[in-house]
Amino acid sequence: MTTFTTSDGTDLFYKDWGQGRPVVFSHGWPLNADAWDGQLRLVAENGFRAVAHDRRGHGRSAQPWQGNDMDTYADDLAELIEHLDLRDAVLVGHSTGGGEVARYIGRHGTGRVAKVVLLGAVPPLMLRTEANPDGLPLEVFDGIREGVRQDRSEFYRTLSEPFYGANRSGSNVSQGARDAFWLMGMQAGLKAAYDCVAQFSATDFTEDLGRIDVPTLIAHGDDDQIVPIGAAARKSATLVKDSVLKVYPGAPHGLTGDFEQAFNADLLDFIRA
């Protein structure tokens, strides 16, 4: 396996395919870099360098007790980018990975970044607060924590249904895709998976989004049952100065079927432009 060691001694797994301008992918919770395999292959076959890592505590990366917080996730991404000396990069983040990308820019700037793609991303803030009344109530995230703590295998099996919109009429998502979601979830360490819930739900990325000063594609399905579009992409698009909002009618949170094909085409168009 290809790994590098962060400054706090954590070994992180990453994939590095192809050559050309780097396109760096950050995955959602509780998944790993394999969730991006279709897009990694797509961009590598079209003249780009595709890079994706397993977040600490997830997939094939080490599972330290410490560092399961958004600042450390962002710093890990920065260390990977510096380790590979990536420049003029396109950063692509899905769900929690979108928060990771936003926090990376908030902490490290855009000196090595040319463009950003936020897909079904959690920014600016998922949790309902007095200042964010459109967010989801704390009880939703407490339920996720309890599901992970009590029986994460069954929880991930069940979660794959709304993740891919399998509970919607006309859905044709395969059982194999849902099984792959379960498998990636089970590869995440319990401590990391539990801790990450607070990071994707309660982290406020408003200031990070305001620091994005490169062209940004904000893409989101309007039937996303995991990260509802109203409190996420629609608000992010008003906070990122040079951004374009792309809404996929009827699309769920996870990439599947026609939604995946449409996003792939938009991704290639955006990074080529």
Q: Which residues are catalytic?
A: 95, 224, 253
- Is the Cβ–Cβ distance between 53 and 86 less than 8 Å? no
- For the chain, state the CA radius of gyration: 17
- Please tell me the distance from the alpha carbon of residue 31 to that of residue 33, in angstroms, as a whole number: 7
